[in-house]
Amino acid sequence: MPLPRRSSLTCALCHTHADAGTQYVCVSLRCDVPLSFGGSEAPAAHGELVSIGGIGGAVNASISAAVSAVLQAKLSVPPSRFYLKFQDVAGSDMGWDGATF
């Protein structure tokens, strides 16, 4: 995927969890990794979201819907071919700026 398209995609994904404040959102995109989903190599995706609180239940469903919409619009990945793993961590388990939260 060309760099300008990647930048557009990572920015769009960054804004799917805007409640966190985008200055704290980090998106990594790896398009060169083979991925088999349901026995097919058709377009698919796997994501992980790590957050210090602020996720769970309805929030996760909302974020999943937003990320799925971005992936479908920008990469033609159907929502049914995408897994998103949510992980809530303690601030002491996340490093940033030479310290932890």
For 10-54, the pLDDT digits (tens) are 777 777 765 656 777 777 888 788 999 999 999 999 999 888 888
Does residue 51 form part of some domain? yes
Does residue 97 form part of some domain? no
Does residue 11 form part of some domain? yes
pLDDT at 4 over 60: no
Does residue 96 form part of some domain? no
| pLDDT one-digit tens code per residue, 61-79 | 998 999 999 999 988 999 9
What is the mean pLDDT of the segment spanning 82-96?
Answer: 94
Domain count, the chain: 1
Does residue 98 form part of some domain? no
User: What does pTM read for this prediction?
Assistant: 0.82
Does residue 85 form part of some domain? yes
The confidence score (pLDDT) of residue 8 equals 75
For residue 9, give its domain range.
Answer: 3-91
Question: Secondary structure of the chain in the HEC alphabet?
Answer: CCHHHHHHHHHHHHHHHHHHCHHHCCCCCCCCCCCCECCECCCCEEEEEEECCCCCHHHHHHHHHHHHHHHHHHHCCCHHHEEEEEEECCHHHCEECCEEC
Task: Identify the CATH number of the domain in which residue 27 sits.
Answer: 3.30.429.10
